[in-house]
Amino acid sequence: MILCPFTRTPLDIQFPLPMIIREPRGPLLLQDSHLIDLLSHFSRERIPERVVHAKGSGAHGYFEVTRDISNITMAAPFSEGVGTQVPLTMRFSTVAGESGTPDTNRDPRGFAIKMRTSNGIWDWGAYSSAFGNASLTSINTVFNNTPVFFLRDPTKFPLFIHSQKRDPHTNLRSPDIQWDYWSQNQEAVYQVMILFSNRGTPASWAQMHGWSGHTYKWVTADGSWHYVKIKIITQQGINNLSADEAKTLAVENPDHNTQDLQQTMTPQQGQAYKYDVNDLTKIWPEDEYPLLEVGKIVLNKNPENWFAEIEQAAFSPANMPPGVEPSNDPVLQARLFAYSDSARHRLGANHLELPINCPLGVHNFQRTGWMRIDGGAGTLPPSAANYPSSFAAPVSFVKRPYNLSAIADLPDPIGSPAMILSSSQLARMDFEQPADLYNKACTEFTQVEKDSLVANLITALNTVTVAAVKQRSLDMFACVDTTLGGKIGAGIGLKASSPLSCGL
């Protein structure tokens, strides 16, 4: 097949390289519409990168239901029976770096899953720690490879990300700013400990688990509901890099990294639970709330066009089918808006028309806008500009079979005003689960991980130049465990303060 170059105008271009000039060695002429078209498109061919999770790759595959959980949710595909398969797209990424950042940087790994169900798009996002053919444990909308996160107040998120990004004064990442944030927001200590173990440098996308982090509500057709978290478990084994291996690969191969289960908790259990069930900095111990396998993820197809299928993919935790509802987790509530708004900025108001984001026909009353590609009014006639309309067939709305007010969280037994200003406060219990991580034997945090944690923290804290930040950071780890604090202190030439406040 012979490809003929052409411009967006009717102008015939016999060869793409010549330009129109007045005479030999003369000036260019503005009438050269081919050159104008070429240059004007070139200056606009880059779209904004994601403000976080900019460096990433992805694949296609399917999700298969492996257990009947109709007693937990009416959501498709679970409502369609064991063996039901739905196509999906997964995108994996680091968090803080730019699109050219090495894959092996110490950073949480995030991933998002776009399932194309019979009821429309269901986006899962998560925090990851290894994956492969997966089996479902807890469902969420923007996953990471760790079960917790650095914060539980959404107002802190921009501040936290600023601390991890480049300092605009120097255009360099600043250990002083990073550790200043962590040491002044010590609810982050659990996540920081995981990040500075070897789990902060997984060897590949396929060798880490994933967690939804957030709590969701899964609802049945009769309106009963459970709190749910999701975990995706790799079938390919956990494999992490040491700090030295990660640094070597960052130089030699910066693009090195181009089973799901579910936990449930009744509303009554959630109310009686020691920790706030909506606290993103806490886990649900699996010995108290065992995992229940509900499905598996298989990735079996690489994208044919990375830009069209991965870079232009837009994920949002707000995309939920009937049978799945958000909890009162304030970080999740903020993300319901923020993810879609970020996509509107990055891809335009009509980003849901892009094929990767729109597997089903949509009938709505939105009109025109940047990058509209379906005629300006979707599947409705252009004259149907309002609702109800005399120019379109009657619209049939699908209602949830349950009442949203019936699945509200149980009331606070103490009672509270209808509207309050709220921000979380550090408490001694914020150090309990990090202490368990360090002291209790577990398969995912071995002695090797503990030794690597200490060594990596010493290396990181020795780059901090502000004495108060370094001391406060040491005290944070001493609050987790005095032995841990002593080992770190010996490596950075400091002793923990006495007495320690530890949130009291």
Annotated binding-site residues for heme read 339
**104 closest CA partner among 250, 269, 261, 292:** 250
Feature table: binding site: 339
CA distance 136 to 125: 13
Catalytic (active site) residue 144 = yes
| CA–CA distances in Å: residue 114 to residues 16, 122, 265, 455 | 40, 6, 25, 38
The answer to whether the CB of 93 falls within 8 A of the CB of 142 is: no
**52 closest CA partner among 339, 349, 357:** 339
**332 closest CA partner among 286, 290, 277:** 277
Catalytic residue, chosen from 53, 209, 214, 351, is 53
Catalytic residue, chosen from 140, 144, 185, 357, is 144
> Three-state DSSP class for 121?
strand
Say which residues have a Cβ less than 8 Å from residue 419's Cβ, sequence separation at least 6.
Answer: none
How many other C-beta atoms can be found within 10 angstroms of the C-beta atom of residue 378? Answer: 19
The answer to whether the CB of 262 falls within 8 A of the CB of 292 is: yes
The reply to whether omega before 394 is within 30° of 0 (cis) is no
Paired tokens of 30: 């503005």
Report the sign of the C-alpha dihedral through residues 358, 363, 369, 374, in that order. Answer: positive
The enclosing H or E element of 161 equals helix 157-164
**274 closest CA partner among 262, 263, 289:** 289
CA distance 99 to 53: 8
Concatenated DSSP letters of 381-421: -TT--SSS-TTSPPPPPPPPSS-GGGGSPPPPTT---SS--
Paired tokens of 100: 């050219």
- Give catalytic residue positions: 53, 144
